[in-house]
Amino acid sequence: DAMVIQNPRYQVTQFGKPVTLSCSQTLNHNVMYWYQQKSSQAPKLLFHYYDKDFNNEADTPDNFQSRRPNTSFCFLDIRSPGLGDAAMYLCATSRVPVEFGSREQYFGPGTRLTVT
């Protein structure tokens, strides 16, 4: 009973070639997040969607974009990947408003991006 699904699990792209990572969820959560994680460091939030409202983090490069066509799906687009964009990309979901104090996020398995 997968709850947050990310495809593909491994993605190889060429330097400068646009790439799209996908995330879907069966939790019917209204908030979806994209994180970048390097070398088991703490995940770094890139942006999140609160319903249809897009919220970008101040230090997220313009090279990263996102789309959320419906509640269940969210995409991460990297317009011109550089070698420094090689990382694990994690999708997560959460529900707002909070019920019974449950503010946790649920994470997918991640997509490992390699840039050649």
- Where on the chain is the footprint of another protein (CB under 8 A)? 4, 6, 31, 33, 40-43, 45, 48, 50, 55, 90, 92, 94-96, 98, 100-110, 112
Residue 26 Cβ vs another protein, minimum distance, rounded to whole Å: 15
Nearer to another protein, 109 or 114 (CB): 109
**Cα–Cα distance measured from residue 94 to residue 71, given in angstroms and rounded to the nearest whole number:** 12
Closest approach, Cβ 106 to another protein, in A, equals: 7
Distance CA 51, CA 44 (A): 21
Helix (H, G, I), strand (E, B) or coil at 98: coil
Provide the pairing of β-strand 4-7 with 19-25.
Answer: antiparallel
Shortest reach from residue 78's CB to another protein, in Å: 19
C-alpha dihedral (96, 76, 11, 106), degrees to nearest 10: 0
Considering the complex, state which of residue 15 and residue 50 has its C-beta at the smaller distance from another protein: 50
